[in-house]
């Protein structure tokens, strides 16, 4: 290992610009003559409306005011959902129209009825006060349970009963049979609370039209600029793909929320062309709360059937999943194929059945947030396993160990479609138990008790399917796209390298990790490798960043492109050194004629490639610039065990995280420092969901937690120092042996926290977020 190669904690190349205020986020950009957009949001969850813009149009600085009627007249299409779920009835999910601007009905607080464009942002905002919108409010429903009731307010006429789909996976008959023969069944009712993604950079968009070449440039906060371009071109029909350039610059966090195609970027780009003037929009945080796709929001019943030794015989899950008012870009697949397919967990459970009803409500659309379905699945499995351990009076670590899929059983075909490629679940459990000093827990509990506190310990042994995803598999499950990734590795004549990657970065450190791959493999000094992403005019068509896929899919594409660079370099070396191609060997950045001291280094090969004065034109092309697309053959399956210890104050209900240990397996690590940082952030995200965060609506559909005054984010004093370790079981099917680490913490954490609190207070009858009030009440009710 070199100090800049694979396995080294190389300090990040991107840090300098961020540390000095030289990052280039979207709102930092301005274009000459730019106007500003302000979107008009509905204050009602459900209403019909009429709109009169005449007075606003006359306000100072106003350039234009557009409504849904203007969008309809222009012939633009609506927003789409890119994954078709086929229900129990054999029919596709209900997909009601989602116009860019509402025409006559609003369906959630924040639904958008118009846009004001003015010379300055404050002028646009002032003029918006003078748009007369006459709302006729109607009853609204935001809870999934209520939305399915008879006579519930209906969100869409073409989705009767508010049902988007009723879907199932697994063998129902076999599962029912497993329950009939069970020694004990543990049942839990669970709520997975709605969360707001909260990237620190609000979404933004800047459209600019070049009339000379009829091209729109759309700068937007996107995790996947090519997907945005495809959808905006093919479905919104704003412009042909070759006349629409999408640029996503430095992005201040995504966590899923910037995957999706949103109306604001479409309308901003459309208006820029219509006005032939740049138009910029930047969300205020209150808009982020109302319009960034939310996450989670499930209500589930789970039952686990066991034999007398605690062997898991069957798992039965029934879930209601909130879709919100409209289907966001990938909303449908999150509570189905990204959720129920993980119900096997780390266990040999013999039979599994899961049914999911996806439900429309008058609330902000729900889609993927860090983990996307997998945190919800882990919460279901790990909560019921821990509860079963209590009921069966078996140690929770021991119960898990009895049911782990053994390390020699891989590949392992699950009961719910996925085939796990590799794993060593007992290995990560053992490591976590050792780190937490499990044997010493009783003593620590006694010490807490002596101090008047209740101490609890909670486990979460999670599995995730990431490295999303093999195109053939997702295609067969209803995805409208393939999920490969692209890369281009381009040498310049002087030997430095530019890597063009489809894996967009929002803080993950790709510019460093990917440069390490190149430095390690091609022997180029890391400072001579630049990584470029985020511009459809520069990079090959690409699928972007989500589902912990950047390294395993995007990095594998870079690896594949480097294979081609080496193959081409061998040809160049063979020609230059006058040797046979098969005699050329490549290592440590040198092409050598086997058994001789004749060699050329990478830089010399690159220079030769671009100064090919004596190349045989029909046999050897000039240039050293190779592209590759990598389509994974399977998902990757990171796993691990997190253990949380809490101390609860029974007088106040305040929960303190006393310690956190994590033993994760992400396969091979390229940059351990970055991996550890990803795990820290994921854990904090999951602890936020468990203890603090909740998107709440009142009975009329008002979003009560609409700012950081009301929506409680994890802060620096939420968590103690987290202790992170890894085991390394390489992924057997990608060239780097890597799996992905960005979501693991958020997947593992909520169950670990809630299991620890349940252990401390002696009841599982408590929902997230476990606020002091809820914990106190649970303690009282359990007495």
Residues within the interface to other proteins (CB under 8 A): 11-12, 14-23, 25, 27-28, 30, 122, 198-202, 250-253, 255, 284-286, 506-509, 673-674, 676-677, 680-685, 707-709, 713-719, 721-722, 745
User: Between residues 314 and 714, which has the closer beta carbon with respect to other proteins?
Assistant: 714
> How far, in Å, CA of 330 to CA of 327, rounded?
8
Structural contact between residues 662 and 725, judged by C-beta atoms closer than 8 angstroms: yes
Pure H helices in 496-627 = 510-522, 556-576, 602-610
Closest separation between CB of residue 723 and other proteins, Å?
Answer: 10
Q: What minimum distance in Å lies between the beta carbon of 547 and other proteins? A: 18
Q: What is the torsional sign of CA 533, 535, 538, 541?
A: positive
Please report how close the Cβ of residue 183 comes to other proteins at its closest, in angstroms.
41
Instruction: Please tell me the distance from the alpha carbon of residue 146 to that of residue 150, in angstroms, as a whole number.
Output: 9
Which residue's entry shows tokens 């945190």? 375
CA angle centred on 256, ends 255 and 261, rounded to 5°: 140
Give phi and psi for 199, each to the nearest 5. -60, 140
CB 298 within 8 A of CB 82: no
C-alpha distances in angstroms, 250 versus 221, 529, 572, 673?
Answer: 8, 18, 37, 21
- For the chain, the straight-line distance linking the first and the last C-alpha, in angstroms and rounded, comes to 58
Three-class SS of residue 528? helix
Least distance in Å: CB of 514 to other proteins? 16
**In whole angstroms, what is the distance from residue 620 CA to residue 31 CA?**
45
Least Å from the CB of residue 718 to other proteins? 8
Nearer CB in complex with other proteins: 478/677? 677
Cα–Cα distance, 722 to 455 (Å, whole number): 18
Q: How far is the CB of 436 from other proteins (least distance, A)?
A: 17
In the complex with other proteins, the residue whose CB is nearer, 251 or 418, is: 251
φ, ψ (nearest 5 deg) of residue 241: -55, -40
Looking at the Cβ atoms of 364 and 506, the one nearer to other proteins is 506
User: In the complex with other proteins, which residue's Cβ is closer, 578 or 721?
Assistant: 721
Query: CA 255 to CA 78: how far, in whole Å?
Result: 24
CB 147 within 8 A of CB 162: yes
* Nearer residue to other proteins within complex by CB, 426 or 673: 673
The answer to whether 412 touches 420, Cβ cutoff 8 Å, is yes
Residue number, 17 or 443, with CB nearest to other proteins: 17
Q: Which is nearer to other proteins, 202 or 653 (CB)?
A: 202
Q: Are 755 and 383 in contact (CB under 8 A)?
A: yes
Which pair of structure tokens corresponds to residue 441?
A: 């827990």
The C-alpha atoms of residue 350 and residue 31 are separated, in whole angstroms, by: 61
For other proteins, the closer of residues 200 and 407 by Cβ is 200
* Least CB distance to other proteins at residue 258 (A): 11
Rounded to a whole number of angstroms, the minimum distance from the CB of residue 285 to other proteins is 4
Nearer to other proteins by C-beta: 421 or 693?
693
Is the CB of 285 or the CB of 564 nearer to other proteins?
285
**C-beta of 141: minimal distance to other proteins in Å?**
28
769 prior amide bond cis, ω within 30: yes
Q: How far is the CB of 746 from other proteins (least distance, A)?
A: 10
The minimum distance between CB 196 and other proteins, in angstroms, equals 11
CB neighbours of residue 704 within 10 Å: 11
Q: How far apart are CA 408 and CA 89, in angstroms?
A: 39
Q: Please, what is the minimum distance in Å from the beta carbon of residue 742 to other proteins?
A: 10
CB of 205 to other proteins, least distance (A): 16
- What is the closest distance, in whole angstroms, from the C-beta atom of residue 635 to other proteins in the complex? 25
Nearest C-alpha neighbor of 36 from the set 113, 100, 131, 115:
115
Query: Measuring CA to CA, which residue among 706, 728, 717, 782 is closest to residue 110?
Result: 706
Tell me whether residue 621 is exposed, middle or buried, using C-beta atoms within 10 angstroms of its C-beta: 0 to 12, 13 to 18, 19 or more: middle
Shortest gap between Cβ of 651 and other proteins (angstroms)?
Answer: 22
| CA-wise closest residue to 256 among 288, 294, 226 | 294
Strand partners, 585: 592
* Residue (494 or 707) nearer to other proteins, CB: 707
Contacts of 306 (CB under 8 A, 6+ apart): 182, 183, 184, 185, 186, 312, 313, 388, 392
Q: Are the C-beta atoms of residues 547 and 468 closer than 8 Å to each other?
A: yes
Of 539 and 674, the one with the shorter C-beta distance to other proteins is 674
Instruction: Tell me how far, at minimum, the Cβ of 321 lies from other proteins, in Å.
Output: 24
Q: Determine the Cα–Cα distance for residues 295 and 467; give it in Å rounded to an integer.
A: 20
**Residues in contact with 780: Cβ distance below 8 Å, sequence separation at least 6, in sequence order:** none
Beta carbon nearer to other proteins, 173 or 709: 709
3-state SS class at 241:
helix
Q: How far is CA 422 from CA 385, 405, 727, 730, in A?
A: 22, 10, 13, 8
Task: Closer to other proteins by CB, 566 or 713: give it.
Answer: 713
For residues 625 and 618, what is the distance between their CA atoms, to the nearest angstrom? 18
CA-to-CA distance for 448 and 48, rounded, in angstroms? 57
User: Which pair of tokens denotes residue 525?
Assistant: 């000094």
Cβ-based nearer residue to other proteins, 202 or 555: 202
With H, G, I as helix, E, B as strand and everything else as coil, classify residue 457. Answer: strand
Residues 35 and 124: their CA atoms lie apart, in Å, by 9
Of 278 and 396, the one with the shorter C-beta distance to other proteins is 278
Q: Identify which of residues 173 and 716 has a Cβ nearer to other proteins in the complex.
A: 716
CB of 286 to other proteins, least distance (A): 6
CB of 481 to other proteins, least distance (A): 26
Task: Give the integer Cα–Cα distance in Å for 159 and 183.
Answer: 42
């Amino acid at each position: 290992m070199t100090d800049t190669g694979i396995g080294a904690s190389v300090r990040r190349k991107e840090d300098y610009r961020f540390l000095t205020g030289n990052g280039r986020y979207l709102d930092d950009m301005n274009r000459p003559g730019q106007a500003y957009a302000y979107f008009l949001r509905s204050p009602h969850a459900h209403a019909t409306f009429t709109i009169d813009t005449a007075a606003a149009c006359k306000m100072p600085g106003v350039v234009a005011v557009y409504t849904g009627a203007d969008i309809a007249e222009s012939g633009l299409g609506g927003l789409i959902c890119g994954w078709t779920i086929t229900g129990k009835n054999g029919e596709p999910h209900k997909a009601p129209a989602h116009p860019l601007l509402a025409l006559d009905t609003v369906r959630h607080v924040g639904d958008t009825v118009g846009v004001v464009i003015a010379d300055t942002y404050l002028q646009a905002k002032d003029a918006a006060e003078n748009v007369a919108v006459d709302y006729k409010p109607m009853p609204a429903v935001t809870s999934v349970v209520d939305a399915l009731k008879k006579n519930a307010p209906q969100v869409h006429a073409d989705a009767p009963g508010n049902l988007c789909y009723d879907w199932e996976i697994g063998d129902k008959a076999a599962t029912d049979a497993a329950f009939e023969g069970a020694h004990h069944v543990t049942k839990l009712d669970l709520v997975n609370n709605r969360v707001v993604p909260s990237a620190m950079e609000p979404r933004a968009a800047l459209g600019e039209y070049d009339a000379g070449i009829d091209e729109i440039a759309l700068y937007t906060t996107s995790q996947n600029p090519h997907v945005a371009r495809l959808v905006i071109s093919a479905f919104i029909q704003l412009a042909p793909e070759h006349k629409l350039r999408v640029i996503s610059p430095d992005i201040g966090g995504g966590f899923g929320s910037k995957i999706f195609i949103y109306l604001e970027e479409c309308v901003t780009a459309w208006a820029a062309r219509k006005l032939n003037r740049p138009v910029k929009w930047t969300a205020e945080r209150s808009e982020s709360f109302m319009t960034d796709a939310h996450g989670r929001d499930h209500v589930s019943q789970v039952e686990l059937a066991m034999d007398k030794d605690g062997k898991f015989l069957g798992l039965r899950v029934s879930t209601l999943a909130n879709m919100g008012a409209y289907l966001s870009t990938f909303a449908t697949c999150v509570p189905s194929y990204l959720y129920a397919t993980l119900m096997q967990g780390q266990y040999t459970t013999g039979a599994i059945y899961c049914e999911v009803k996806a439900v429309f409500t008058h609330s902000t659309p729900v889609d993927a947030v860090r983990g996307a379905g997998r945190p919800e699945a882990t919460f279901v499995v790990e909560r019921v396993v821990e509860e079963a351990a209590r009921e069966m009076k078996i140690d929770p670590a021991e119960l898990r160990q009895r049911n782990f899929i053994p390390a020699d059983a891989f590949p392992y075909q699950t009961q719910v479609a996925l085939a796990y490629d590799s794993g060593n679940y007992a290995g990560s459990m053992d490591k976590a138990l050792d780190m937490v000093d499990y044997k010493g827990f009783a003593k620590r509990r006694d010490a807490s008790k002596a101090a008047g506190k209740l101490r609890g310990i909670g486990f979460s042994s999670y599995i995730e399917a990431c490295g999303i995803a093999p195109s053939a598999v997702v295609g067969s499950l209803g995805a409208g796209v393939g999920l490969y990734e692209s890369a281009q590795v381009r040498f310049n004549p002087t030997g430095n390298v530019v890597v063009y990657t489809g894996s967009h970065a929002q803080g993950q450190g790709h510019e460093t990790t990917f440069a390490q791959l190149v430095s390690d493999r091609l022997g180029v000094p890391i400072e001579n490798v630049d990584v470029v992403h985020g511009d459809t005019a520069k990079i090959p068509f690409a699928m972007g960043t989500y589902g912990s896929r950047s390294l395993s899919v995007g990095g594998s594409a870079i690896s594949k492109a480097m294979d081609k660079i080496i193959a081409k370099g061998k040809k160049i070396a063979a020609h230059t050194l006058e040797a046979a191609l098969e005699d050329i060997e490549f290592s440590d950045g040198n092409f050598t004629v086997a058994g001789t001291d004749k060699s050329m280094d990478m830089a010399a090969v690159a220079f030769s490639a671009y100064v090919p004065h004596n190349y045989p034109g029909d046999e050897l092309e000039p240039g050293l610039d190779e592209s590759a697309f990598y389509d994974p053959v399977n998902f990757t399956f990171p796993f691990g065990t997190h253990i949380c210890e809490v101390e609860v104050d029974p007088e106040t209900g305040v929960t303190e995280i006393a310690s956190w240990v994590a033993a994760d397996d992400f396969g091979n690590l390229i940059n351990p420092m970055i991996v550890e940082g990803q795990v820290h952030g994921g854990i904090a995200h999951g602890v936020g969901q468990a203890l603090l965060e909740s998107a709440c609506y009142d009975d009329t559909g008002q979003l009560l937690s609409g700012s950081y005054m009301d929506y409680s984010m994890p802060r620096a004093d939420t968590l103690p120092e987290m202790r992170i370790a890894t085991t390394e079981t390489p992924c057997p099917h990608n060239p780097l042996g890597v799996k992905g680490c960005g979501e693991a913490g958020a997947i593992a954490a909520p169950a670990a926290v809630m299991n620890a609190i349940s252990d401390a207070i002696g009841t599982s009858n408590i929902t997230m977020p476990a606020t002091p009030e809820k914990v106190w009440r649970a303690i009282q009710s359990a007495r």
